[in-house]
Structure 1
Amino acid sequence: MLNARVKDLDVSRNQPGESAQELLSATLKDRHREITELRLAGWKLGDKSCEMLACVLQSANSLTELDLSDNNLRDSGVQFLSKGLSSPHCILQTLRLNQCHLSKTSCKHMASVLQRKPSHLRELDMSGNDLQDEGVELLCVGLRDPQCKLEILRLNQCHLSKTSCKNMASVLQRTPSHLRELDMSGNDLQDEGVELLCEGLRDPQCKLEMLRLSNAGVSDKGFFCLAVILLLNPCVKDLDVSHNQPGESAQELLSAIKDPHREIKELRLAGWKLGDTSCEMLACVLQSANSLTELDLSDNNLRDPGVQFLSKGLSSPHCILQTLRVAGCKLSDKCCKISACSLQSANTQAEQCV
Structure 2
Amino acid sequence: MNEGSRLESCDLNVTHCQNLSKALQSNRSLVFLNLSTNSLSNDGVKSLCEVLENPNCPLERLALASCGLTKVGCEVLSSALTKTKRLTHLCLAHNVLEDEGIELLSYTLRHPRCTLQSLVLRCCYFTPIGSEHLSTALQNNKSLIHLDLGFNKLADSGVKLLCQTLQQPNCNLQELELMGCVLTSEACGDLASVLVNNSNLWNLDLGNNILDDAGLNILCEALRNPNCQIRRLGLENCGLTPGCCQDLLDLLSNNQSVIQMNLMKNSLDYEAIRNLCKVLRSPTCKMEFLALDKKDLFKKKIKKFLVDVRINNPHLVIRPQCPNTESGCWWQYF
* Cα separation, 1, equivalents of 2:146 and 2:14: 30
Name the counterpart of 2:293: 327
Separation in 2 of the partners of 1:254 and 1:83? 48
Structure 2 residue aligned with 1:73: 40
2-side partners of 1:127 and 1:322: how far apart? 30
**Alignment partner, residue 271 of structure 1:** 237
Of 64, 87, 112, which aligns to 1:97? Answer: 64
**1:228 shift after superposition:** 1.5
Q: Of 154, 164, 168, which aligns to 1:199?
A: 164
TM-superposition CA deviations, 1:264-312 (whole Å, max 9, x none): 1111101112223323222222222512221110001111111022112
Q: 1:243 aligns with which of 208, 216, 232?
A: 208
- Residue equivalent to 1:131: 97
Say yes or no: does 1:37 pair with 2:4: yes
Is residue 150 of structure 2 the alignment partner of residue 185 of structure 1? yes
CA shift for structure 1 position 341: 1.4
Structure 2 CA distance for aligned equivalents of residues 154 and 60 of structure 1: 26
Unaligned runs of 5+ in 2: 321-334
Q: Indicate the residue corresponding to 1:209 in structure 2.
A: 174
CA distance in 1, matches of 2:250, 2:278: 9
CA contact (8 A) 2:184 2:210 kept: yes
Say if 1:180 and 1:208, in contact at 8 Å, map to a contact too. yes
Partner of residue 332, structure 2: none
Return the offset for 1:194.
Answer: 0.5
CA distance in 1, matches of 2:94, 2:255: 39
How many angstroms apart in 1 are the aligned matches of 2:197 and 2:243? 25
- Which portions of structure 1, spanning 4 or more consecutive aligned residues, are displaced by more than 3 angstroms? 328-332
Measured after TM superposition, the shift of residue 351 of structure 1 is 3.1
- Please give the TM-score of this superposition, normalised by the length of structure 1: 0.86
Q: In the alignment, does 2:21 pair up with 1:54? A: yes
What does the per-residue CA deviation read over 1:115-146, in whole Å, with 9 as the maximum and x for residues that have no partner?
11x52110110000111010000111111110
The alignment's TM-score, normalised by the length of structure 2, stands at 0.90
How far apart, in 2, do the equivalents of 1:242 and 1:275 lie? 15
Map Cα deviations across residues 202-232 of structure 1 (whole Å, 9 max, x no partner): 2233111111111110012211110121111
Counterpart check, 1:149 vs 2:115: yes
Cα pair 2:38 2:66 within 8 Å, conserved: yes
Query: Tell me, what secondary structure is at the counterpart of 2:30?
Result: coil
Equivalence for 1:140: 106
1:178 partner SS: coil
Q: Does 1:318 align with 2:284?
A: yes
For the residues of structure 1 that align with 2:309 and 2:243, how far apart are their CA atoms?
20
Larger Rg: 1
Select between 334-343 and 120-129 the one with higher mean Cα deviation.
334-343
Please give the root-mean-square deviation of Cα atoms over the aligned residues, in Å.
1.7
Q: Deviations over 1:161-216 (max 9, x none)?
A: 00111111112110x52111111111111000000111220223311111111111
The residue aligned with 1:12 is none
Alignment-derived partner of residue 30 in structure 2: 63
Name the residue aligned to 1:283.
249
Cα deviation, residue 155, structure 1: 0.6
Q: Distance in 1 between matches of 2:22 and 2:99?
A: 31
Residue equivalent to 1:303: 269
Q: Distance in 2 between matches of 1:293 and 1:310?
A: 15
Q: Distance in 2 between matches of 1:262 and 1:199?
A: 17
SS in 2 for 1:239: strand
**Cα displacement (A) at 1:342:** 1.3
Counterparts of 1:349 and 1:178, CA distance in 2: 34
Mapped pair 1:114 → 2:112: no
Relative to structure 1, is the Cα distance of residues 328 and 134 closer, same or farther in structure 2, using a 3 angstrom cutoff? farther
285-294 vs 203-212, greater mean Cα deviation = 285-294
CA distance in 2, matches of 1:205, 1:259: 19
Tell me if the contact between 2:223 and 2:255 (Cα under 8 Å) persists in the aligned partners.
no
Alpha-carbon contact 1:62-1:91 (below 8 Å) kept: yes
**2:294·2:319 contact (CA, 8 Å) conserved in 1?**
no
Alignment partner of 2:188: what SS?
helix
Amino acid at match of 2:240: L
Deviates more, 1:317-326 or 1:152-161: 317-326
CA positional deviation for 1:148: 0.2
Task: Tell me the equivalent position of 2:195.
Answer: 230
Provide the identity percentage.
31
Per-residue CA distance 1:70-91 (angstroms, 9 max, x = gap): 1111101000000011112202
Return closer, same or farther for 1:89/1:95 CA change in 2, 3 Å cut-off.
same
Matched, 1:261 2:248: no
Helix, strand or coil: the match of 1:310? Answer: helix
Give the AA of the match of 1:262. C
**Kept after mapping to 1: 8 A contact 2:30/2:59:** yes
**Is 2:8–2:38's contact at 8 Å kept on the other side of the alignment?**
yes
In structure 1, C-alpha distance between the alignment counterparts of 2:228 and 2:257, rounded to whole Å: 8
